[in-house]
Amino acid sequence: MIISSAQITTKVGDVNYNLEKHLHCIDVAAQKEAELIVFPEMSLTGYCLEEGRTLAIGRDEEVITKLSQKAQERTMIIIAGAPIYMDDILYIGSYIIMPNGEAKIYTKRYVHHTEQAYYTSCFDHNPVVSLHGEIIQLAICADIDEPNHPKLAKKCDCTLYIPSILFSEQEIDNGHASLKKYAETYSFAVLMSNYVGQVGRMIAGGRSAFWNRKGVCIAALGREQEGLVVMERINDDWVGQKCEL
């Protein structure tokens, strides 16, 4: 079993540019025989606040169709983020594109206070995904600041916790500490994807990484470069590599 995490820059509102970057990352991950790839928070649109309602991506839009085709072509689970508008409510969500092309949705549970004027928190969309015996639970950014989130994931028998985040240079060390603690406490592996470079007014902190069930960081990218973390499970152990884009 091989899984991967993408660390990228994006352009807010330029969905075509962002999609092409996703497709390139997916192809690179496929060359490493990855069966799953995760991208940062709102990766398809770039992280946005007031633009979210305009940029929201629905299930039937061309970008999701292209990702569905790519998931089938590469036999891969693709986890990509976007504002998602459902039932007249705007959420921060992740599309989970399955290898058969089906698009599932996870919605952010703990919306950051700066996002509350634009987005609504939601506990209703939390699909459980399995891959070669691993039970996968997703998280989006501020979800990992709320200790109940990983606790509830463990109650759902999670063995692989996958956060898509936007943490700044100043925040990422604390993010690493939290994810290490969750891995140790709940005995699940953690695969995290963060942005790198300029994101709005902040500089993203990078350091996308993987922790095993003992909380040991097996592989992590730096603070500046785009790339992939690629992890392979061999029996009960994980080995990793870093891959430039």
The structure tokens listed for 134 are 């691993």
**pLDDT at residue 201 greater than cutoff 90:** no
Percent of the chain at pLDDT above 90?
97
Which is nearest to 110 in space by CA: 139, 84, 83, 143?
143
Overall number of domains in the chain:
1
21-45 tens-digit pLDDT: 999 999 999 999 999 999 999 999 9
CATH number at residue 24: 3.60.110.10
- The CA-atom distances, in angstroms, between 159 and each of 94, 137, 140, 208, 236 are 19, 8, 17, 19, 12
For residues 122 and 60, what is the distance between their CA atoms, to the nearest angstrom?
21
Whole-prediction pTM: 0.98
Cβ atoms of 204 and 167 within 8 Å: the answer is yes
- What share of the chain has pLDDT > 70, as a percent? 100
Domain that residue 167 falls in: 2-244
Question: For residue range 145-200, what is the model confidence (pLDDT) as tens digits?
Answer: 999 999 999 999 999 999 999 999 999 999 999 999 999 999 999 999 999 999 98
CB-neighbour burial class of residue 218 (10 A; exposed 0-12, middle 13-18, buried 19+):
middle
Residue in the block written with tokens 């990422």: 172
- Kindly state the tokens that stand for 85: 């508008």
